[in-house]
Structure 1
């Protein structure tokens, strides 16, 4: 179990890259504002490696460095970001380069304009940033949430390795489905969230108690997920992620020291607020709260609940059999001890990495 925890830790450290796109069309001109993590972008531009002895550069200094790499940056974007109208390619111009802090990370903000040939047809965007050998080597999972206003259509699309092409006019149900899948895969791929749910099940030795703690966890993480995704609540990842790890250890330790954990619903609700902030870290939304934003958040949450239900359905029958045995308490204590150990390992690692 300890080995699994140590192996899973790098996935937290490198595994998630978030981007945002804002796309608008005015006749035959398409404007594209792209926000991606500065560090990941620089890796792909063959710029000079950072000097470890150099003080942390300011956003203005980072912007100046990107401007110096303007030609390489434009060439890179031409290869990984293509816009077409009615099947005809549009010519790109990189207009503005900026670097800004956002939610505890440093982002490159790139504004481009695309001049499209005269004609009609749907707007299509082919997105390939960070879907490359570097990402594969680092086990990097990149997603980009794109808001568009083009051809009389507005909507939201999720670029990911399995969905790299946006064609304006796509069915909203299909687009929302991608956010459901993202939520489902997020909770199942995150060993920390899986172990937290398992720790809850270990301490809830009846169907009634399972329903109580799961309801409290769902209500809490749904609340902070919505608030954080809408931009109404912001807590740095350097605080949230270590706190999530500590919550795993806390619930597991309570399973050991209390055969029937007291005040469990209150404890779980409080920790659930932290996990909701962690879930929101997988979404990179702007500040505009609208229908498309709300449906995306709700669809993502539906995916999380489906993943949580899958964990419960997979584990609960086995736990029910164990609870009927005389050795149930030693098994619960041993399993909780291993989960607590994982939580503490993650906490220390995340504090050191933050």
Structure 2
């Protein structure tokens, strides 16, 4: 298809070249990345015996064999942030092209990053090729709504930031992220439900909810500021075990005098789980501490609102014969399955 390659040094005078085009469409930031095939192969397997060849057979073999490695490598070395939070992307397209003005064939990769809304601030940290070639150059063209920027990345300068969040915008956005987190945190909702079911009075109910909120707040701040960080897999396994334990405790333990202590202890664990949503937040992007505080307030607000919503539901379930035991059994089974998935799969 492309003929026979020559070594990269002869192909482009010892300078490897890449092109980045960043745009946004329908809630997706689209990153089109073009890199000469020599460097693309070298990124995932520098010892590939066919690294200097570009026949159709070689290109097809590389595509089928290293597709996953290309995705992993690029997504780890191209870090994109929207409003201070890291975006999680995926590789959606991968093909080979002939690029006008370039002697060697290029790989074209499309990375897609879903976003909640049009970002006010974007940051890009690029680290492809530089470890192997200090002369690598990447020509960047960014056009996301009102955010427009062109840049040239070299070894000494391979970070880009465009736009700026206002304090008011940051507080609003992170508060909403915290508030909305409860809509998707199924494991936290089930834990809180099983915890509150075990309360024997309105006073105990309120104290358990408040103590859980305070304990959660403490570790969320510590983890959010990177003062105390635990491995994600370990935290998720502990959260699953906490669901199993508290459901069984509420099901079989008739003495609930330790319910407040359990709320505080398990609240500390769940705080690390809630911190995951803001893990990797750029501390140098502006308003980071205020944003974390607003996220925390959103979490606490969501928790207390959920506790108020659950109270009449729990009160009603107590009137249904076997309603509470059946629900707690289902929650315990969920915790057990969730623990097996997080700890062993």
* TM-score (normalizing by structure 1): 0.57
Q: Any conservation in 1 of the 2:250–2:328 contact (CA below 8 Å)?
A: yes
User: Structure 1 34/223 Cα, relative in aligned 2: closer, same or farther at 3 Å?
Assistant: closer
Moved more, 285-294 or 233-242: 285-294
User: Structure 1 34/205 Cα, relative in aligned 2: closer, same or farther at 3 Å?
Assistant: closer
User: Structure 1 48/285 Cα, relative in aligned 2: closer, same or farther at 3 Å?
Assistant: closer
2:332 & 2:147 partners in 1: Cα distance? Answer: 57
2:342 counterpart (334, 345, 350): 350
Residue by residue, what CA displacement relative to the aligned partner does 1:214-237 show, whole Å, maximum 9, x if unpaired? 122111110000001111001010
1:263 & 1:209 partners in 2: Cα distance? Answer: 10
Give the secondary structure class of the aligned counterpart of 2:228: coil
Q: Does 1:341 find its partner at 2:333?
A: yes
Q: Equivalent residue for 1:255?
A: 250
Give the secondary structure class of the aligned counterpart of 1:90: strand
Residue by residue, what CA displacement relative to the aligned partner does 1:268-312 show, whole Å, maximum 9, x if unpaired? 211111110011111134685999232111110111122212322
1:34 & 1:45 partners in 2: Cα distance? Answer: 26
Count of residues in Structure 1 that have an aligned counterpart in Structure 2:
239
Give the secondary structure class of the aligned counterpart of 2:229: coil
Q: Equivalent residue for 2:288?
A: 293
Runs of at least 4 residues off by over 6 Å = 65-68
Give the secondary structure class of the aligned counterpart of 1:281: helix
Q: Any conservation in 1 of the 2:86–2:280 contact (CA below 8 Å)?
A: no
Q: Equivalent residue for 2:298?
A: 303
Q: Does 1:321 find its partner at 2:313?
A: no
Residue 318 of structure 1, CA deviation: 2.4
Q: Does 1:185 find its partner at 2:180?
A: yes
* TM-score (normalizing by structure 2): 0.58
1:82 counterpart (143, 162, 172): 143
User: Structure 1 265/34 Cα, relative in aligned 2: closer, same or farther at 3 Å?
Assistant: closer
Two-structure CA RMSD over aligned residues (Å): 4.0
Residue by residue, what CA displacement relative to the aligned partner does 1:303-352 show, whole Å, maximum 9, x if unpaired? 112221232222211222344x383xx32221111111111111111113
Q: Equivalent residue for 2:324?
A: 332
User: Structure 1 352/95 Cα, relative in aligned 2: closer, same or farther at 3 Å?
Assistant: farther
Moved more, 87-96 or 298-307: 87-96
Consecutive unaligned residues in structure 2, runs of 5 or more = 1-75, 96-106, 110-126
2:147 & 2:316 partners in 1: Cα distance? Answer: 62
1:244 counterpart (239, 260, 263): 239
Give the secondary structure class of the aligned counterpart of 1:238: helix
Structure label with greater radius of gyration: 2
Q: Any conservation in 1 of the 2:197–2:314 contact (CA below 8 Å)?
A: yes
Consecutive unaligned residues in structure 1, runs of 5 or more = 1-16, 24-32, 50-61, 98-109, 115-124, 126-166
Give the secondary structure class of the aligned counterpart of 1:82: strand
Q: Any conservation in 2 of the 1:21–1:34 contact (CA below 8 Å)?
A: yes
1:259 & 1:253 partners in 2: Cα distance? Answer: 11
1:34 & 1:322 partners in 2: Cα distance? Answer: 40
Q: Equivalent residue for 1:111?
A: 158
Residue by residue, what CA displacement relative to the aligned partner does 1:80-130 show, whole Å, maximum 9, x if unpaired? x4389xx79432223349xxxxxxxxxxxx93358xxxxxxxxxx4xxxxx
Q: Any conservation in 2 of the 1:248–1:339 contact (CA below 8 Å)?
A: yes
Q: Equivalent residue for 2:151?
A: 92
